[in-house]
Amino acid sequence: MLIPETLLPHDLHGRHGRLREYFHDKDATATLVGDYWQIKLEWPDGTRRHVDPMIEAALTDWNSIPLSGMGLARQRSGSVLTALYDTWTLLSWSEWAKRAGVTADDRITVLHLDDHRDLGSPRLDMIEDGLVDMITNQPFDVTLPHTVLAACESGAIGMGSFMTPFLLAFPNCDVRQLAQPPKVTETRDWAFLPSTYSDDLLRPGHLRPAILLESVIGTGPGRYRATNKLDDWLDGIGPGPVLLHVDMDYFNNRYDGDGDWPDRHPRHDPPLQDVVSHIDEVVAALKGADVLRRVEDAVIAFSPGFFPAEMWATAGARLGAGLAELYD
């Protein structure tokens, strides 16, 4: 990828910050070639980038993959996709939508356990005929899983933006985000509406898809609820299929991708015994509301650099046991 020299600072630290802000999940380096910066993208492999000092030890349960392999790591069992990066939620849902033959008119309930909304603008160009991956210049369509796979691999779709293309493609989703303080401290409802974001690096001025939240009262198709209360999370779920996304940082977000995490107060950092107890509460609520049996696809993401790696094995096993019926 080549971009004009004027779009990046010549100062190394300023340039690094700008590239990190834009590409998020991938490490980008820029080399000046004449009047242009040549951009190279790679999956991060440095320990400082990943914040959590226990990640490498925890990767023994993932075939001891290197740090640079985390961005692509995933495995499926039954209706459950387990991944390290929750970017892969979009691919799993895209594959489900194709199998199920759902359309834009269908009502879908999305249960989103996460400390983040993940409604950022992906690096996709809105052209006359549809969407194009700004990194590879290849077509993108949520209903075509192979294009979603390519965009997840390129970095056009990231951890903070995977929800946006799905909600735009299936606007009758009823989204329920369950989060915990300090990020979410009350129940709030919005209508989610299609919007745009003007790109400022790869294709300056070109429009990227985005989501706008407009405050409303109540849930339903085209609505987004964020709450810290289990009852409000599952209240009044309507007919139709249910998709489940569990980012383990919902249970503990000690690091939040922040190298300065020790100085961040307050932070969401309960001990393991509380994490396990809360997993049991969530599973019990899903079963008690007769919702778990309706889940047609689920994704569990461990979120390196957010959810503490020393909790991966124990918390993952406990959640897997609770969701056992989805693995058949």
pTM score, whole prediction = 0.96
> Is the separation of the CB atoms in 246 and 301 below 8 Å?
yes
> Is the separation of the CB atoms in 252 and 270 below 8 Å?
yes
**Which pLDDT score is estimated for 47?**
74
Q: Where are the alpha helices (DSSP H) in the chain?
A: 12-23, 47-50, 55-58, 89-100, 145-154, 163-169, 230-234, 272-288, 312-322
Question: Tens digits of per-residue pLDDT, 215-251?
Answer: 999 999 999 999 999 999 999 999 999 999 999 999 9
The amino acid sitting at 7 is: L
Q: What are phi and psi of 44, to 5 degrees?
A: -60, 140
pLDDT at 52 over 90: yes
**Which pLDDT score is estimated for 100?**
97
**Which pLDDT score is estimated for 49?**
79
Task: Give me the chain's average pLDDT, please.
Answer: 96
Burial class (CB in 10 A: 0-12, 13-18, 19+), 95: middle
* Rg from Cα positions in the chain: 20
- Model confidence at 8, pLDDT cuts 50, 70, 90, reads very high
Closest CA to 301 of 319, 276, 282, 324: 319
Q: Please give the span between the terminal C-alpha atoms of the chain, in angstroms, as a whole number.
A: 44
**Which pLDDT score is estimated for 84?**
97
Question: Tens digits of per-residue pLDDT, 274-313?
Answer: 999 999 999 999 999 999 999 999 999 999 999 999 999 9
Lowest mean per-residue pLDDT among 132-136, 198-202, 258-262, 309-313: 258-262
**Which pLDDT score is estimated for 260?**
85
Question: Tens digits of per-residue pLDDT, 100-124?
Answer: 999 999 999 999 999 999 999 999 9
Hey, where are the domains in the chain? 1-42, 48-327
Q: CA geometry: angle at 157 spanning 153 and 161, to 5°?
A: 150
> Is the separation of the CB atoms in 318 and 281 below 8 Å?
no
pLDDT at 252 over 80: yes
Check residues 328 and 19 and name the one with the higher pLDDT.
19
Burial class (CB in 10 A: 0-12, 13-18, 19+), 205: exposed
